[in-house]
Structure 1
Amino acid sequence: MPLFKDGEGEGENDDKRELFDTWRFNEGRVLEIERPIRLSVKPAGIALEYMESMGIPVVHRRVVSLFERLGLQKEVQFIPVDVEGQTEPWFILNALRVIRCIDDARCDEVSYWGPEDGEPDRVGEYQNVRGLKVDPAKIGDADIFRPWGWLVVLIVSEHVKQAMETEGITGMKFLEV
């Protein structure tokens, strides 16, 4: 599901829409979105209530309602998006916390960028993490966050996981970390 900012419009100008900078949704901060975001679903099918577009969580209004009932408003930002072919409200789930919590010793494998990799501004950062494990002592009371250094992962507490399962939210896949 490609993520686009509305550009020149739709129809014959579809090729003029610019791809949206998705990395900023992993930074753990409130975002000010100036232009509407539109999602194109490929291939077309039944929409799940939790989907990802280029690694960015896109959720149905039922997820927003559940998170509000759970009191998670300070941990997430929901950014409205238009999903092609859908009339229901959809939102990007922007996690507002990044926590330094990866437990390198318990992960299956971790590797770091080094000087020899040709990315000087990334030296010392995670290059790869397999079998992610986190240190619960470093998480505190967080219910939803991204782990510092491996922002491609969204982590939720057991409480949030159980609430989503009880609510019957479709589309998630949970792995214990």
Structure 2
Amino acid sequence: MPKRYFDLSADMTLPGRWSLGIPTDQQGREVDDPWAFKKGQPIPNPGRLRVPIDVPGTAFDFTLAGLATPIVHVRVASLLTELATDDVQIFPVDIAGQPDQFCILVATKLIRCINDAACKEVELWRPEDGRPEKAGQYRDVYGMRIDAAKVGEANVFRTWGWSVALIVSEEIKSALARIGATGMRFNEV
């Protein structure tokens, strides 16, 4: 039986959830490349960062902060480093007023596995869109499906060409359910 995979995102239907901003350094300056956290590649240790609370509310175990940066509770971070050691980097962050420890989650693998034909719809950038540097790249992917045979042994990764998607294996999804992790939504891909 082929391995199953899921797009992990924040469950925005949960009432009263907090909203977090873009990570900053200890002096309150935005990090040099805030997109680095979701490129699907290892990054140098950014040092101790802060994540501001834009809208106060309930803290969940998984949240997408500013620019869709994954923020996870330390118990989720521990589970991921145990089950997906080669697939993730974890960087502790300070969140004002939070007694619990949270971390930025970086998926370190970028895998070319989107199955264009099986997706509901795939839009590519065209030269006439006025962004010639993006021509031929994904502009949008609806109802994403991947070719699991191209994934290999990865349990957490980003999809090449559409790195906004954070993909986890069924093993990771099940482990997160076992510990009662909150704030997540999973869509099978």
Indicate whether the TM-score tops 0.5.
yes
Max radius of gyration: which structure? 1
User: What is the distance in 1 between the residues matched to 2:30 and 2:104?
Assistant: 18
In the alignment, structure 1 segments of 5+ residues that lack a partner are: 10-16
Matched, 1:172 2:184: yes
Paired residue type of 2:177 = E
1:100 alignment counterpart: 112
Asked whether the equivalents of residues 25 and 31 of structure 2 are also in contact (C-alpha less than 8 Å), the reply is no
User: What is the distance in 1 between the residues matched to 2:143 and 2:117?
Assistant: 11
* Shift in Å, 1:113: 0.8
Higher strand share: 2
User: What is the distance in 1 between the residues matched to 2:51 and 2:111?
Assistant: 29
Matched, 1:48 2:67: no
Tell me how many residue pairs correspond in the alignment.
Answer: 169
- CA-based RMSD: 1.6
Relative to the length of structure 1, the TM-score reads 0.88
User: What is the distance in 1 between the residues matched to 2:175 and 2:47?
Assistant: 33
2:92 alignment counterpart: 80
Paired residue type of 2:149 = A
Relative to the length of structure 2, the TM-score reads 0.83
2:81 alignment counterpart: 68
1:12 alignment counterpart: none
Matched, 1:150 2:162: yes
> Which of structures 1 and 2 has the larger relative contact order (alpha carbons within 8 angstroms, sep 6+)?
2
1:140 alignment counterpart: 152
User: What is the distance in 1 between the residues matched to 2:141 and 2:152?
Assistant: 22
Instruction: Evaluate the alpha carbon distance shift between residue 42 and residue 148 of structure 1 in structure 2; reply closer, same or farther with a 3 A threshold.
Output: same
